[in-house]
Amino acid sequence: MAEEFVVERFGLSHRRSCGLVGLWRATLQYVPKPKDEAGLIQRLKELAQARPRFGYRRLHVMLRREGFKLNHKRTERLYRREGLSLRVRKRKKRAAVVRVPLPPASRLNERWVMDFMEDKLINGRKFRAFTLEDAFSRESPAIEADHSLTGQRVCRVLDQVAEVRGLPDVIQIDNGPEFAGKALDAWAYQRGVKLEFISPGKPTENGHIESFNGHFRDECLRMHWFASLLEAREVIETWRVDYNRVRPHSSLGYLTPEEFAAKHAAVTTKPTQRLSISMA
C-alpha cells in the first residue's frame, strides 16, 4: 500500500507517512478479530428447521429474544450463506381492481373476521377448519376442526370465545351457507353483533382472515400429514397457541398478537350478553 512504500522509499515515520497519503494510523494498525459464529449459526439452523416457513426477519427477532446481539444484516448474511432461504411460490397474476378498504380496527373486539378452510387426512377423507381472528390484535381465539361444521356449530364456538373475551361489535364474513344461514343471523341479532358480508366473489375484501389462512396453511397444514381428526386437532391447536404467543408478527412491529393485545388491554371491550339461542 502507499503508506508502506513511503516508509520504505524515504525512511519516514509511520505518523508522517500516514499524513502524506491521507490515512488514519488507526486504520493502518487495525487487526480484524474474527467472530466465533458457530453457536449463532447452530441456533439459526435449529430455528429454521423448527420453523421452515419463517424468513430471516422473523428468525432474527427470535434470535434477539434469546439474547444474541446482532443486527438484521448479519442475520440475513448468515441465513443466505447457510442456504436457508425460502423457496418463493409464484403467484398467478390477477387483474387489478379498484376497491375501497375498510378503516383499520382501532381496539380489541371491534371487528372479528372468520372463514373456513379445507384439508385431508392420510386416508383421503376431507375435514374443515373454522378460523377466527381479531382484526386489531391478529389473535386467533379459536380454530375448530371437524368433518362437518354447521352454522349452529359456529355459534357454539363463538359463544365459547365470548365467555373468555367478550363479544365483538362487528363480524366480517363471506357469503357461505354457514354464515348466511338463520342460525348465525339469530345469534348475532340476539347479542347485538353486526354481521358484515363482503361482496360475493371478492375474498380480498376480507384481507385479514385471508392472510391468516395463508399462514395457517403454509406453516401448519402443509407441514403435516394427519393420521386422524384427533391428531389434526392437536397439531392445529398447538400451532394456534404458538401463533398467538411466540410467532413475531410483522404488521405488529414484530410483537406477538398476545403482546400487542396486552399493550391495549385497557380499552374497554363489549361485555358478553348471556342470551340463549336455540340450536335446533
Give 103-146 pLDDT, tens digit per residue: 788 899 999 999 999 999 999 999 999 999 999 999 999 999 99
- What is the model's pLDDT at position 166? 93
Model confidence, pTM? 0.74
Closest CA to 179 of 206, 207, 218: 206
Encode pLDDT of 134-155 as tens digits.
Answer: 999 999 999 999 999 999 999 9
DSSP3 helix / strand / coil % (the chain, rounded to 5): 45, 15, 40
Cα within 13 Å of Cα(107), Cβ side: 12
Task: For residue 54, give every residue at least 6 positions away whose Cβ sits within 8 Å of its Cβ, in sequence order, or none.
Answer: 47, 48, 62
Spans of the chain below 50 pLDDT: 95-100, 268-269, 272-280
119 in Cβ contact with 144 (< 8 Å) = no
Distance, in Å, from the CA atom of 139 to the CA atom of 241, rounded to the nearest integer, reads 9
User: pLDDT at position 188, please?
Assistant: 93
Phi then psi for 62, rounded to 5 degrees? -70, -35
